[in-house]
Amino acid sequence: MTRNSQAIFRVDFSLRREVFFVVIGAILGAITMVVPITLLYTGLGLPYYLTWMAFGHVLGVYSSSSIITGISIHLITAISIGIAVGVFLYKTGILNISKLSNGILYGLLAGSIVFVVFFIPVYQFILAPEISRTIDAMKVTTTSQSKEYAATPITTTTPQYQYANNFIVVMIVWLLIHLVFGTVLGGVSSSISIRFGSRFRCAKCDISFSRIDSLQKHIQLVHGTTPIQLKRILILGGGFGGIEVLRQLQKAFQDDVDVDITLVSRDNFFLFTPMLPEVSSGMIETRHILTPVRTFCNRAKFYEADVDAIDLKNKHVVIAHAIGKQTRSHTLEYDYLVLALGGKTNFFGMTEAANNALTIKSIGDAIVLRNHIISMLEQADIEHEDIKLRKSLMTFVIVGGGFSGVEAAGELNDFVRESIDHFYHNLDRIDARVILVNSGDRILPEVTEDLAQFALQQLRKNGVEVMLNTRLIGATQDMVKLNNDSLISCNTLIWAGGVLPDKLIGSLPCDHDKSGRIVANKYLEIDGYENSAFVVGDCACVTDPHTGSPYPPTAQHALRQAKVATKNIIFAINGKPGDRKIIFDYKTKGVMALIGKRNGVGILLGHKVHGFTAWWLWRLYYLGNLPTTEKKLRVTVDWIIDLFFKRDVTRLKTFTEEDSVKASTEILR
């Protein structure tokens, strides 16, 4: 590699991680060595454990533990030498195992070093004499362990002694065994390193490769004297659909240097939305359901920015970001576009609700909602002697009887009542009102009638007031009005109904449904822009061929749409004669909802579940779908803590809130 090429790349390397990969490879290699050793000694009519027993005897262990001791020494020695050789190769720069061929060479070198440095002297001066003594002892032993060998005495004319005394044959056989060890060591450690290890990053493009030869090829073809024309893929949106498209594309084009991948999102994190209600109650720490988008972007570039304009005809997108009070704009050109911009809360034209309601769509919503609930309890505690005001502060109205509304109502109800019991001694849980308002005649229309009825009964049993066939028609800061002319005095209104695509999506020159979502064909392409523009997730209207109705805007559908869209992009780029585009045809695997108090309902693969079983399956499923092992562990710890400790009612005021309080104090003075 030239000096100029070295100036435009860097290596993201962790010695501890690479050593760990070598340890895994060495362990598997050492275990693999057992197979030829076993075959060798079994073929000679000797016990397969003879070598391990001899190793144990050398260390002074003559009990039944000698075999285990011998195997342990074998593993420790193989791992130690493997690590030493790996560190030496890294420090000297002789070999980089991010190429599989280099990994095999490394393994063969390590196996040869183990053979020459360790095995030959140890076998010649220590192990061989001990094996001979062990065989001699086996000739005269009468233990049940050796009875099978007593019928055929071991003498100097038997194959065992002939093999043991033929130095050249012994060395050839054991060299082959050590090369088997080295091949497994190098292959395994190299494969793991390519998948999880060092990244070779191009500083100009801000993308990385898992193999150094891919980076070398990239520098030569993209930054050389005659750059190639890149195939540019642009993903807009960092939700379930956008991130899944990114992951699938990176997997497919990891070492394809003529493909350029870019993702744009207004946030620099991926939000795991199913756990938002638990964040709003403080059960799960905020950052534990957030994963930085850059965690996923290895082979792709990432821009945290807003999408200002999309030109489908000329294939370019304008993005904008703020630097202080100044807004900067950039134009990104593409060959293939994936729209995964999600949606926003739909208030169905109700301005009063939009101005006075809290929502639960983003992480900011969850933080604000939690702070607001705690604030209401704090104020109610101060004003506990004013019965009317206290009850208003302790009344929480949630609009929407779908998954979001029901889960929010169940989680909020538990949080409020448990917090009152433990912390707010001037309040009574009986005075707390959690009201769920639903315009339909049943909650959870996504599940069967009997499960919806079970959920309704459990919510009411836990103290949630559920109003069916009721709509919100007006709202102020401390009052809501329903279509039955009833007024509810409350200081908390939570809107959990409906999703609406962004205005930018609705303004694009293509077909839309009545809510503004883009109508996609069965290949998830935008009509009129086939093979170049795809749409997935909440901003897509995709018709279910079995029902004739649009697929619901859920995470599981967004993930499956992302995989189909990715395959069709790959087909558009690398399609061969005979290949076909993939049709999106997905049957829902199931639906689940939590309803509080370690309770839930769901349908999984056609089977109905409810109660504790549904709650447990919900947790297992969504825990397994968290994007990283770190987040899985953190959420698990949060859930365990919640089992043994009280809810945390710490309220973190924002700077805006603190400034508002100070301003009010100054006015009073």
Residue ranges of the chain with per-residue pLDDT less than 50: 1-6, 142-152, 154, 655-656, 658-669
Q: Are 579 and 571 in contact (CB under 8 A)?
A: yes
Residues 6+ apart with CB under 8 A from 422: 646, 647
CA 564 – CA 569 distance, rounded (Å): 9
Q: Which CATH architecture has domain 229-266+305-343+501-586?
A: 3-Layer(bba) Sandwich (3.50)
CA torsion angle 129 130 134 137 (round to 10): 70
DSSP codes, 445-506:
TTS-HHHHHHHHHHHHHTTEEEE-S--EEEE-SSEEEETTS-EEE-SEEEE---EE--HHHH
Query: Structure tokens of 12?
Result: 């993201």
CA angle 564, 569, 572 (to 5 degrees): 130
Locus of tokens 């109660």: 611
Boundaries of CATH 3.50.50.60 in the chain? 229-266+305-343+501-586
Q: Are 467 and 482 in contact (CB under 8 A)?
A: yes
Instruction: List the one residue out of 198, 148, 176, 205 whose CA is nearest residue 16.
Output: 198
pLDDT of res. 14: 59
DSSP codes, 150-178:
HTS---TTSHHHHHHH-HHHHHHHHHHHH
CB half-sphere exposure, 171, CA atoms < 13 A:
11
> What would the pLDDT profile of 81-113 be if each residue is shown by its tens digit?
767 766 776 666 566 666 778 788 888 888 888
Give the full edge-to-edge strand order of the sheet including 590-594. 590-594, 600-604, 607-610
Q: Which CATH architecture has domain 351-498+591-663?
A: 3-Layer(bba) Sandwich (3.50)
Give the full edge-to-edge strand order of the sheet including 326-333. 306-311, 316-323, 326-333
Give the DSSP H or E segment for 12. Answer: strand 9-12
Is the Cα torsion angle 233, 234, 238, 239 positive or negative in sign? negative
Q: Which DSSP category does 127 fall into?
A: I
pLDDT of res. 94: 60
Q: Are 403 and 444 in contact (CB under 8 A)?
A: yes
Residues 6+ apart with CB under 8 A from 297: 246, 263
CA 225 – CA 5 distance, rounded (Å): 12
CA angle 469, 475, 476 (to 5 degrees): 155
pLDDT of res. 654: 61
**How many distinct helices (H) and strands (E) make up the chain?**
23, 28
CA angle 445, 447, 452 (to 5 degrees): 75
CA 13 – CA 147 distance, rounded (Å): 56
pLDDT of res. 357: 94
Query: Structure tokens of 467?
Result: 């109003």
Looking at 237-293, which runs of residues are DSSP E strands? 259-265, 269-271, 290-292
The CB density around residue 383, as the number of other CB atoms within 10 Å, is 15
Phi, psi dihedrals of residue 579, rounded to the nearest 5°:
-75, 155
Q: Are 453 and 445 in contact (CB under 8 A)?
A: no
Instruction: List the one residue out of 426, 402, 397 whose CA is nearest residue 413.
Output: 397
The neighbouring-strand residues paired with 332 are 317
Instruction: List the one residue out of 39, 74, 40, 35 whose CA is nearest residue 54.
Output: 74
Which contacts of 468-471 are long-range, i.e. CB under 8 A and separated by 24 or more positions? 468/401, 468/438, 468/440, 468/441, 468/442, 468/443, 469/438, 469/439, 469/440, 469/441, 470/437, 470/438, 470/439, 471/437, 471/439
pLDDT of res. 89: 63
CA angle 305, 277, 563 (to 5 degrees): 55
Where b means 16+ CB within 10 Å and e means fewer, 326-342 reads eeeeeebebbbbbbbbb
pLDDT of res. 90: 63
CA 350 – CA 498 distance, rounded (Å): 12
The CB density around residue 140, as the number of other CB atoms within 10 Å, is 9
The CB density around residue 31, as the number of other CB atoms within 10 Å, is 15
CB half-sphere exposure, 522, CA atoms < 13 A:
10
Q: Which DSSP category does 126 fall into?
A: I
> What would the pLDDT profile of 342-372 be if each residue is shown by its tens digit?
888 888 888 999 999 999 999 999 999 999 9
Boundaries of CATH 3.50.50.100 in the chain? 351-498+591-663
For the chain, give the longest Cα–Cα distance: 110
Q: How far apart are the first and last CA of the chain?
A: 73
> What would the pLDDT profile of 309-318 be if each residue is shown by its tens digit?
999 999 999 9
pLDDT of res. 4: 45
CA 277 – CA 408 distance, rounded (Å): 5
